[in-house]
Amino acid sequence: MYVKVCGITNLDQAQAIASLGVNALGFICVPQSQRYINPKQLRAITYSLPSTVEQIGVFVNANLSAIAELWQDCQLSGVQLHGQETPEFCCQLRQRLPTAKLIKAITVKSAADLALALSYSPFVDVLLFDAYHPQLAGGTGKTIDWDILQQWHSSPTAWWLAGGLHPGNVAQAITLLKPQGVDVSSGVERKPGDKDLDKVKQFLTALRSLT
């Protein structure tokens, strides 16, 4: 099970969480976000982490050049698109950054959103299903309607589950929906951008109880 902890803003927390055996850390590169991390702070973290932990920059409706510049400058492993980016945009980004892991977040309100997700499959490595919120792109603490996700017919593209996951429900979510990965942010925080290491450990313990 692939595990990504998103919304990292603190160097010490990043290093501590990386040492717990997660697969990836996510960094919000969106100035309007409560979890925003500026390029200088991001470089200080990404340059200090082991290569075994992937480092994912999260963007919302950014332009290609801005994404590519930050990806290279901060030595990111991948890019997560969390806005209204089109499949065509994802194709262009793939051509611009052929070695990056590309993740497209899909906010799920209805089964129609699952059909939309299929149009991205040829151009990205991962589809990330997240909860819908009318104002916020992610990290809301809201849970997807899991009944809708049970209608998902897997494509060749890997898919990860996000949206309201926490130590108390992640095992149930995995058992019911069987994603290839999970992405957690608010469910392991004290406040936006401030991770609670005990909650991260509890989250991982819940996951490992399934194996």
Residues with active-site annotation? 6, 130
Residue whose C-alpha is closest to residue 167's, from 202, 208, 197: 202
Q: What is the 3-state secondary structure (H, E, C) of 99-127?
A: CCEEEEEEEECCHHHHHHHHCCHHHCCEE
Q: What is the 3-state secondary structure (H, E, C) of 11-65?
A: HHHHHHHHCCCCCEEEEECCCCCCCECCHHHHHHHHCCCCCCCEEEEEECCCCHH
- Amino acid identity of residue 78, one-letter, is G
